[in-house]
């Protein structure tokens, strides 16, 4: 019995009997090799104890998944930090509500809740992979306005009018108040940029490959917009109506200030730089608890999508906002990041012959108003590489 106790008091032995895995098996095999005299006894004891297998009910994989989702949702609801709903849940929960399907380029699905118009109820349904068309303004009634220029402007001058590219006037059709609750959108593909003046006179510069969803008039208690991509915001001060920029990973709450947000769905890191005032960031989906960060001027907030890590560092904000004037400036920046910016700006694709070149550190300033060949020539020279045009819009740096 003494011998038995030695084993039944060893959790590893019990595990070997009732819940063995590779590690445990290996352990006992090597154990028995060292003590061959105990081998027979051990096997016998194991087969005996194995008879005492307690029957149990098990939860099916499906029930397990449903239960875990239920728990996660309840936790999130409790924390009230998760507002952009996932499409799956949305389809189940709101199938009965009005659902609008619109087809713009890659297609976008959203719905609106008539009682509570809220920009967060938009469902971003697609990845912005196809962003090579023309810059497009999508109005509440679903009509598309082609902006036709690589640098366009859109100004919501009044409730009745939108001025596009400083010359053409688009009348706003207001068929009842419902229309106001359907947001507008500005789609800015690669190779273009746009400047947008919102109804509250806040100005938003949208960089290439970006999309902004916003209402034609801010009617609620706060001014909310939804951003995919990069934009510089110059927010008009209105203390009674905070301005909120939502992105896939976090939202930014401000009263009146200037800041740049880079939140491209394809990028591993999402960044916000503040040039003036102060802003508050709330990380959404990653967390059940409000993770609130206050950013001061000249600070860069980085959010890593891979591990939900956040970082704040002091920077020269100009580097991050010069793009709106057609300039990119970089200091000690990886070639891979510089290349990415150029790709978006000119709507071209650049491959690096040697992927390791991506970490070449770059210093300098690029005027993106110049021809793409000039820019590529300059970048290649600084990196001590050469560029080759390998196809239409395709380049190789090696």
Contacts to other proteins by CB under 8 A? 1-2, 4-5, 8-12, 14-15, 17-19, 21, 23-24, 26-27, 40, 44, 47-59, 63-64, 67-68, 70-72, 74-75, 78-79, 286-289, 291, 308
Closest of 311, 282, 312 to residue 298, by C-alpha:
312
Task: Output the smallest distance, CB 69 to other proteins, in A.
Answer: 10
For residues 285 and 332, give the distance between their C-alpha atoms in angstroms, rounded to a whole number: 32
- Spell out a b/e string for 148-162, using b for 16 or more CB atoms within 10 Å of the CB, else e: eebebbbbbeeeeeb
Task: Output the smallest distance, CB 42 to other proteins, in A.
Answer: 12
- Spell out a b/e string for 265-299, using b for 16 or more CB atoms within 10 Å of the CB, else e: beeebbbbbbbebebebbbbbbebeeeebebebeb
Task: Output the smallest distance, CB 78 to other proteins, in A.
Answer: 7
Closest of 393, 397, 382 to residue 349, by C-alpha:
393
Residue 53 or 384: which CB sits closer to other proteins? 53
Residue 63 or 381: which CB sits closer to other proteins? 63
Task: Output the smallest distance, CB 19 to other proteins, in A.
Answer: 7
Task: Output the smallest distance, CB 85 to other proteins, in A.
Answer: 15
How many C-beta atoms surround the C-beta of residue 104 within 10 A? 15
Hey, is 8 helix, strand or coil?
helix
Residue 18 or 101: which CB sits closer to other proteins? 18
Task: Output the smallest distance, CB 49 to other proteins, in A.
Answer: 7
Residue 75 or 87: which CB sits closer to other proteins? 75
Hey, is 251 helix, strand or coil?
strand
Task: Output the smallest distance, CB 268 to other proteins, in A.
Answer: 17
Residue 111 or 288: which CB sits closer to other proteins? 288
What is the C-alpha R_g of the chain?
Answer: 29
Residue 81 or 199: which CB sits closer to other proteins? 81
Residue 81 or 270: which CB sits closer to other proteins? 81
* Exposed/middle/buried for residue 387 (C-beta within 10 Å: 0-12, 13-18, 19+): buried
Q: In terms of DSSP bridges, do strands 394-397 and 349-352 run parallel, antiparallel, or are they unpaired?
A: parallel
Residue 46 or 377: which CB sits closer to other proteins? 46
Residue 23 or 168: which CB sits closer to other proteins? 23
Positive or negative CA dihedral for 338, 343, 348, 354?
positive
Task: Output the smallest distance, CB 301 to other proteins, in A.
Answer: 17
For residues 137 and 365, give the distance between their C-alpha atoms in angstroms, rounded to a whole number: 31
Determine the distance from the C-alpha atom of residue 298 to the mean position of all C-alpha atoms in its chain, rounded to a whole number. Answer: 23
For residues 229 and 211, give the distance between their C-alpha atoms in angstroms, rounded to a whole number: 6
Task: Output the smallest distance, CB 289 to other proteins, in A.
Answer: 4
Closest of 231, 223, 180 to residue 201, by C-alpha:
223
């Amino acid at each position: 019995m003494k011998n038995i106790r030695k084993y039944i008091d060893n959790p590893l032995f019990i595990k070997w009997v009732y819940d063995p895995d590779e590690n445990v098996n290996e352990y006992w095999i090597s154990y028995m090799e060292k003590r061959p005299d105990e081998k027979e006894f051990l096997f016998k004891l194991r087969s005996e104890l194995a008879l005492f297998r307690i029957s149990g009910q098990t939860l099916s994989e499906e029930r397990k998944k449903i239960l875990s989702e239920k728990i996660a949702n309840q936790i999130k609801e409790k924390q009230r930090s998760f507002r952009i709903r996932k499409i799956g849940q949305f389809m189940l929960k709101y199938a009965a509500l009005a659902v609008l399907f619109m087809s713009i380029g890659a297609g976008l699905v959203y719905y609106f809740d008539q009682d509570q118009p809220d920009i967060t109820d938009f469902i971003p349904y697609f990845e912005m992979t196809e962003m090579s068309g023309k810059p497009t303004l999508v109005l509440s009634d679903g009509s598309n306005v082609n902006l036709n220029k690589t640098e366009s402007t859109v100004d919501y001058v009044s409730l009745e009018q939108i001025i596009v590219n400083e010359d053409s006037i688009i009348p706003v059709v207001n068929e009842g108040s419902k229309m106001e609750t359907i947001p507008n959108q500005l789609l800015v593909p690669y190779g273009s940029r746009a400047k947008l003046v919102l109804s509250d006179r806040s100005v938003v510069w949208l960089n290439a490959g970006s999309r902004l969803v916003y209402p034609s008039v801010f009617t609620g208690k706060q001014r909310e917009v939804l951003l995919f991509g990069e934009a510089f915001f110059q927010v008009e001060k209105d203390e009674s109506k905070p301005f909120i920029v939502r992105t896939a990973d976090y939202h930014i709450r401000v009263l009146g200030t200037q800041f740049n947000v880079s939140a491209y769905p394809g990028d591993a890191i999402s960044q916000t730089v503040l040039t003036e005032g102060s802003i508050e960031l709330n990380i959404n989906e990653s967390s059940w608890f409000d993770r609130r960060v206050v950013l001061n001027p000249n600070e860069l907030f980085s959010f890593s999508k891979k591990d939900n890590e956040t970082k704040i560092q002091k920077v020269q904000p100009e580097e991050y906002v010069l793009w709106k004037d057609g300039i990119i400036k970089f200091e000690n920046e990886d070639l891979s990041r510089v290349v990415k910016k150029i790709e978006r700006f000119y709507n071209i694709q650049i491959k690096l012959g040697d992927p390791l070149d991506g970490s070449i550190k770059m210093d300098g300033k690029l005027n993106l108003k110049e021809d793409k060949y000039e820019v590529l020539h300059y970048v290649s020279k600084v990196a001590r590489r050469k560029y080759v045009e390998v196809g239409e819009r395709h380049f190789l740096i090696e």
